Structure 1
Amino acid sequence: MLTLEQVKQKSAARLAKLHPAVLAGANELIRRSYNRGVPILITQGMRTIAQQNELYAQGRTKKGDIVTNARGGDSYHNYGLAIDFALLLPDGRNVSWDMKRDGDGDKVADWQEVVQEGKKLGFEWGGDWTSFKDYAHLQMSFGLSIQDLKAGRRPTAQQSAAALSRITGGEPEVNKDIPVNITLNGKKLTTGVMDEAVTYAPVRAIAEALGAKVTYNASSKTVNIVKE
């Protein structure tokens, strides 16, 4: 049987460019599913507009079955907010989309076990859609419609932090093993850490270097930056 790290490595390339919360959720979904005896593979992550249009053409102007009703720009995949998954078979090479498979023999379909864990992490499941059901699809919309995303709106920092907190069960965990230098016009200001494509750095050092003043309100737990 593959180790958890081996299972995670198989999906790593498809997790590039995902929103940080979706990335964290995908990795946690792999871990939780594995712990339930259900190894999975993330088969799709970020998808370009061109790739989406190519997929939309399948079953319409190109051979194959119709697998999506979303044209380029009309899928949460195009904004790094969605993933697709499949069940990773015991040989570690092949996958299955058999929603009735019970590979771990616990009398609960493996597919439903993955969906259960996904929903706990804050994912919305395409199998719950009322029209075109996409059973392999999981997304985090953050309350944003496709029209919102097309207009340039994105999840706020507060929404992203809340999603990460739900995934980690508390404060987002920071990998302090990846230090980064913060510079201004080539001059080093301070150091920070990079975790899941998010940079954490002391706000005071950066704000004051930009000519702003920083205060902290302990009662409201608010950091206030003022630039006159």
Structure 2
Amino acid sequence: MLILEQVKLKSHKRLIGLHPVVVAATLALIERSYARGVNIVITQGLRTIEEQDALYAQGRTKPGPIVTNAKGGTSYHNFGLAVDFALLLPDEKQVSWDLKRDGDADGMGDWTEVVQEAKALGFEWGGDFISIKDAPHFQMAFGLTTSQLRAGKEPTASQVAAAYIKIGKCTKEDSEVKKDVIVSVIVDGLKVADGVADEGVTYTPARAIAEALGATVSYDAKSKTVTINSKEAK
């Protein structure tokens, strides 16, 4: 049986590039689902415009069923504000999208349990969409349209602080004092990640920064150690 940290590790690559508060909410979702006896895996996180266009072409100009109405630049995945998930099966390798599966035998579908926790954390669920239902999909739109996001608009600091409060990462008083600010991290003139500035400390994804500098990153779950190796070290 996997411990919580092992379950989290199965999703860590799909969290790279997501908005920091979405990362926090997604990790909280994995934790809360685990506490209810349901293991989940994040199958999609940040998606490029090209990847979105390829997905949109499915069922239209390419084989397969239509799975999205969103062209490149019109999905919240393209802006790091959405994730897709699946249920991790007992063999700890395969996943399931069976909405009726009750693996923990508690009388409630595992999928329903995950959706309940996601909504409690502030996620919008794709299963509530009117046109094409997207049951594996969760997003945090912050009231912004994809048109606004394409134009460069971002969630406000107060919206981000409120989201952190909802997922239990800080109290209302903390948010009023700290005033978390979303910052852009630029390496050699190119934006590589978003971070959160809090009382003079900036929190950013280690992998995104390291890889932008040509280094490799590895994580040891047992010792909870992140190792960065530069080209010079090699």
Q: Normalising by the residue count of structure 1, what TM-score does the alignment of the two structures yield?
A: 0.76
Q: Which moved more, 1:129-138 or 1:56-65?
A: 56-65
Distance 2:123 2:116 in 1: 10
Deviation per CA, 1:14-63: give whole Å up to 9, x if none.
Answer: 00011111110000000000110000000000001011011111121112
**Could you tell me which residue of structure 2 aligns to residue 45 of structure 1?**
45
Query: Within the alignment, does 1:200 sit opposite 2:198 as a pair?
Result: yes
Query: Which residues in structure 2 correspond to 1:44-193 (within 5 Å)?
Result: 44-168=44-168, 170-171=170-171
One-letter code of the match for 1:149?
A: L
SS of residue paired to 1:131 = coil
Distance 1:169 1:43 in 2: 24
Moved over 3 A (4+): 169-173
Gaps of 5+ in 2: 175-193, 202-234
Whichever of the two has the greater Rg, that structure is: 1
Gaps of at least 5 residues in structure 1 are 174-195, 204-228
Amino acid at match of 1:22: V
Q: CA deviation at 1:161?
A: 1.0
Task: Give the distance between the partners of 1:169 and 1:2, measured in 2 at CA.
Answer: 25
Conservation of the 8 A alpha-carbon contact between 2:67 and 2:132: no
Report the alpha carbon displacement of residue 202 of structure 1 after superposing the two structures with TM.
3.6
Task: Report the AA paired with residue 76 of structure 1.
Answer: Y
TM-score with structure 2 setting the length: 0.74
